Chain A
Amino acid sequence: MSQLDPGVQIKRRTMSRRQFVSTFGSLIGLILLIIIMYALKPNFLSTSNIRNILRISSINGLLAVGMTFVVLTGGIDLSVGAVMGCAGMYSAYFAQTSMNKHWMVAVLVGVGMGLIIGTFNGVCVSYFRVPPFVGTLGSMSIAKGLTFLLTDAKPIPSLSTEFKFLGGGNIGGWLPTAIVIMLVVLAICFTLLYKTRYGRYIFAVGGNLNAAHVSGINTKRIICSVYIISSVLAALAGIITSARVTSGVTSTGDGYETNAIAMVVIGGTSLAGGRGRLWGTIIGILLLQCLTNGLDMLGVNTYYQMIIKGFVVIGAVMLDGLNAED
């Protein structure tokens, strides 16, 4: 008991094979997937394909990272896809060349949409005790409605060049802006979750709400905040997507919430709250994105892809279940 950090040793010495598989299962799956894809299609690991995978991962990943915060408190955010579409449209609206506004304005409008919807979600769930599933289902519909209202469901073309750089541009000519944004977000989120009181409180609230409250934590504020984080990150993803496809499209983000939840769950975060890890989510993101990309390259029909992905999600959660030592 006198060593500073005896836990690290314990882990190394005593992890059974079963625990190893359940802890690193997704990572092993990801590595196997990459090897298999490389064997079948050496092009899979070409620089341009890797860059492509990472760029798309960054966009989807923003949603999954935000979702991780929500799921850790024991909640769920079904509105992220709709928020993404909504923020994408509103920022595109202000980024039209005809509007002649600075690109920052467009970004701020998009992020602002995320902030508003996120706060709405958070207040509903924490202060008014609306179950997260219901509350965010409602705001999903609200956000969709707002999206269609803006232009009567018509796409928004011809965006300013500076704005488009956010999605399609490469910093230094080779590093996609989206990836840089994602890396910055990840750095912030890792710090928040593991290096601040706030992060610790998130785990406590998800693990035992009563005990967290009695320990003097403002549990309502913590719960409210995770929905804001989730929505703002979803808004960011929407802005990047609009910039990338060079127009605002109302269908942006449709169905992305299920993807985000799948990534979080593959990463080993428990939907019951209180248990999980951010690096797991990153692996979940890469695993699903590599799978999609690889199956596309192999020319597998989308419908088969859906079936395969369904099994992957379930399989990952089964592996994780092994971790529950009796």
Chain B
Amino acid sequence: MSLVEMSGIRKSFYGVEVLHGVNFQLKAGTVHALMGENGAGKSTLMKALAGVHRFDGGVIKIQGKPADIYSPSDARSLGVAMIQQELSPVEELSVAENIFLGREPVKMGFVDYKQLYRQTEKLLDSLNLNMNPRTKMKALPMAEQQMVEIAKAISQNAHIVIMDEPTSSITNREVESLFRMIADMKARGTGIIYISHKMDEIFRVADEITVLRDGGNVGTWKKGEIDTEQLICSMVGRELKSQFPKVEVTIGEPILEVRNLTLAHQYEDISFTLHRGEILGFVGLIGSGRTELMNSLFGITQPEKGKILLEGEEVTFKSPRDAVTHGIAYVTEDRKGKGLVLPMSICHNTTLPSLRKFTKSGLLQRRAEGNAVTRQVSSLNIKTASTLLPVKSLSGGNQQKVVLAKWMMTEPKIIIFDEPTRGIDVGSKAEIYKIMCDYAAQGNAVILVSSEMPEAMGMSDRILVLSNHRFSGELRRSEFSEEAIVQMQFKHMISRRNDDDRSDVK
């Protein structure tokens, strides 16, 4: 008997049907992967199961019994837990409070904080997570926020767990602990629905794979019945040639030089040179200081020491505005927090940093703006009924594409991509890589921060590795290997561990 049986599920938004009668089954003790392009309807289908959306038609049966799911709490009481694609932490609360939100241990009517922290510590330990349960959520980087979200779902002891792109912003190390947890849960008979755009993960964890396209079923396969090519083909509906369209370009003169840049506890003594035509990869574990460094290159934070030379001249960026006027763009890792104005339309989000271009004698040229946005939207293949809809009505991957569109629109000289393909499907990824290459080939320069090894190695001309806030190595394209990178990532970690030990003794 199936643990979950969804049949004929329909759902419309603003009168547009996005799920046209989808069927889906989950068996106990298995991992069922749900795949499909951006906007195929994966999240929407799962939100129906988790009670986030009311669906308009169809039946959901849980353990054979028809289930009435009208709200997230209905779903929870039926044993369904969901890790949402878009993280929604209560930023002012601590890690522990977030994990046990609404089900805090109580003693005599009051929250039992001692118990709360103890339980959280135990949970975090079991996940191999090294964080303080008392830290406020807003102090955590994206990756750790995502791990908290995962811990939260796991702690509910649900027997149906939905994971909507749980690994989109974590690195390999955390992925491994997640997979160990998944194995444990399977052994206990839990059914897991796993959504991801990362092929290698899918083939490692999935027992079954269901593919959706445009809100309908394409098919369901057992493990081993389908290979990567067939899977991609069933998702995008055509064959995909090379994933990384990297072409050799001639590397030009230096455009950005960074000398001994330091900001305490974020990054230390970083120096590098970026050339025209170059794609420079930055890799490092979570907390290695990659994003923090990028924030300073864009004027979000200011370095304490060191200097930045742009085309040979020293510059200081007091705010992102200075960086934008100097022709730098920054595709931020955190699309919901720093990337998008969710209630604004797709069109208005896309032109936000480049609005000056669409102004004539003080007035906005809306026709020119609309045309430019339409061009950008179709070149990035953003799936939407209209560019005037609020950007929050888009699927996760399509929202990410709007962040890309927005910065491409500024026609920058240097573009910093921090995890640019987070949540983007295989087909679109290849297109984005192509745009990236073309852009660099025009004499611009790209900084690519990525946790995905294949992406970093497939796209970069050179890779710089950061470890524990410090520079730990540089590799040219001919020297790329996963081993070398991993080794460099840990280079300064060993010594830190020793430091920690010493301070424990004291």
Contact = CB atoms under 8 A, between A and B. Distances in A.
Interface of A: 1-2, 4-10, 13-16, 19, 191, 195-197, 200-201, 203-204, 207-208, 210-218, 274-275, 325-326
B330 interface: yes
A49 B345 CA distance: 41
Given A215-B320, A217-B321, A326 B14 contact: no
B364 A207 contact: no
Contacts of A274: 341, 343-344
B332 interface: yes
A325 B374 contact: no
Nearest to A6: B386
A10 B53 CA distance: 22
16 contacts: A4-B367, A5-B370, A5-B388, A14-B14, A15-B15, A195-B364, A196-B363, A204-B341, A204-B352, A207-B344, A208-B337, A210-B337, A211-B338, A216-B321, A218-B319, A275-B343
B388 A326 contact: no
Given A4-B370, A208-B337, A274-B343, 4 more contacts: A196-B363, A201-B355, A204-B344, A211-B341
Contacts of B341: 203-204, 207-208, 211-212, 274
Nearest to B370: A4
A197 B362 CA distance: 8
B363 A326 contact: no
Nearest to B377: A1
Contacts, number: 114
Contacts of A212: 341, 352
Nearest to A270: B343
B385 interface: yes
Interface hub of A1, A5, A196, A215 (most chain B Cβ within 10 A): A215
A208 B340 contact: yes
Contact of A216 (B54, B353, B363, B388): B353
B344 A203 contact: yes
B348 interface: yes
A239 B67 CA distance: 64
Nearest to A209: B341
Given A197-B359, A200-B364, A274-B344, A326 B53 contact: yes
A213 B320 contact: yes
Contact of A200 (B352, B374, B387): B352
A16 B16 CA distance: 11
Contacts of A275: 343
Interface in B353-394: 353, 355-356, 359, 362-364, 367, 370-371, 374, 377-378, 384-389
Contact of A214 (B13, B54, B300, B371): B300
B80 interface: no
Given A207-B341, A211-B339, A6 B385 contact: yes
A21 to B, nearest CB: 15
B324 interface: yes
The main secondary structure of chain B at its interface with chain A is mixed
B342 interface: yes
B9 interface: no
A203 B345 CA distance: 11
Contacts of A5: 370, 388
Among A2, A9, A211, A218, chain B packs the most CB atoms within 10 A around the CB of: A211
A17 to B, nearest CB: 11
B325 interface: yes
Given A10-B388, A325-B14, A217 B352 contact: yes
B432 interface: no
B323 interface: yes
A1 B374 CA distance: 7
Nearest to B383: A1
Chain B CB within 10 Å — which of A13, A15, A212, A214 has the most?
A: A214
A268 to B, nearest CB: 13
3 nearest interchain CB pairs? A7-B388, A14-B15, A216-B324
B60 to A, nearest CB: 17
Nearest to A205: B341
A9 B353 CA distance: 27
Nearest to B53: A326
Q: Which of A7, A14, A325 has the most CB of B within 10 A?
A: A7
Nearest to B13: A325
B66 to A, nearest CB: 22
Nearest to B16: A14
A201 B320 CA distance: 15
Contacts of A19: 14
A274 B390 CA distance: 12
A195 B366 CA distance: 8
Which among A8, A19, A212, A275 has the greatest number of chain B C-beta atoms within 10 A?
Answer: A212
B462 to A, nearest CB: 27
Interface in B8-22: 13-16
